Amino acid sequence: MKNAAIIGMVAVELFTDVCPATCRLFLELLDGDGLGHGYVGTQFFRKVPNLYWSGGDVIYDNGFGCYAQRGRIRPIPAENYHFSHSMPGLLSMQVSSEGCVCGVFNITFKPLPQFDLKNVVFGRIIRPSSTYEVIRKLGSPLSSYPIIEIVATRRKVGSKCIRGSRNTVLNTTSMRKVMY
C-alpha cells in the first residue's frame, strides 16, 4: 500500500504456449522496456473487492493509456480468446475497442464471464497465496483507496533473477488535462 506496509508477493504462471505475444508484452513491462515504460511504480487503478483488480497502465496509470510494444508503432492485436474467465485467480489483459492489448491487466477473484471476448486470459495466480487472499478483500468500486502500487517485480530465468525497472514516463498530468 502506498505510504504503508508491503502487502506481499504474488507468483504467476503464464500461458506462453497459447498467448505468446501477450505474455511477451506482460514480461516486457514486468522487466521495463528500457525506454521508461514498466509496471514498477504504477498502481492498481480499479479495485472491486471479491470481483477483480485492474492495473498496468504504463502511460497514464488510470486505465486510459495504450502502450505500443517496443519496436512497434501500434499495439499488438488480441491473440485469441482460448480460455474463458471461468474461475478465480486468472490474469487477463484488456482488449481495446480497436482489438489490441495495451498492457492493462486484471486479476480475477471469481468467475467473470462478462470479461470473455473482451479480455485475453494469459495466466493464473499460483495458489494457495496469502497475498492473493488479502488483496481480494481490499478496495471499493467507487474509490481509488487504498492506493496499491507495484513497488518491485522480479522473475527467474534459469538460475538468474531479473528485476523490473521503475516507470519513468508516466504521463498523469497530460491525462488530467484531457479528462477536464
- At position 34, the amino acid (one-letter code) is G
Amino acid, res. 149: E
* 164 lies in some domain: yes
Residue 19 has pLDDT above 60, yes or no: yes
3 occurs within a structural domain: no
Which CATH number belongs to the domain containing residue 139 in this structure? Answer: 2.40.100.10
Mean pLDDT score of the chain, rounded to an integer? 89
| Residue 56: how many other CB atoms lie within 10 Å | 27
Q: In terms of residue numbers, what domain contains 29?
A: 12-179
> Quick check: is 4 in a domain?
no
Whether 118 has a pLDDT exceeding 80, the answer reads: yes
50 pLDDT higher than 60 = yes
Cβ–Cβ < 8 Å for 13, 123: yes
Answer yes or no: is 40 within a domain.
Answer: yes
DSSP annotation string for the chain: -TTS-------EEE-TTT-HHHHHHHHHHHH--SSS--SBT-BEEEEETTTEEEE--TTTSSS---PPPTT-SSPEEP----S-S-SSSEEEEEE-TTSEEEEEEEEESS--GGGTTTEEEEEEE-SS-HHHHHHTT--BTTB-PSP-B----EEEETTEEEEPPBP----HHHHHHHH-
Count how many domains the chain has.
Answer: 1
**Residue 122 belongs to some domain of the structure:** yes
158 assigned to some structural domain: yes
**Tens of pLDDT along 121-139?**
999 999 899 999 999 999 8
Q: Beta strand pairing status for 12-14 and 119-125?
A: antiparallel
Q: Is residue 6 part of a domain?
A: no
Residue 27 lies in a domain: yes
- Average pLDDT score over residue span 155-167: 91
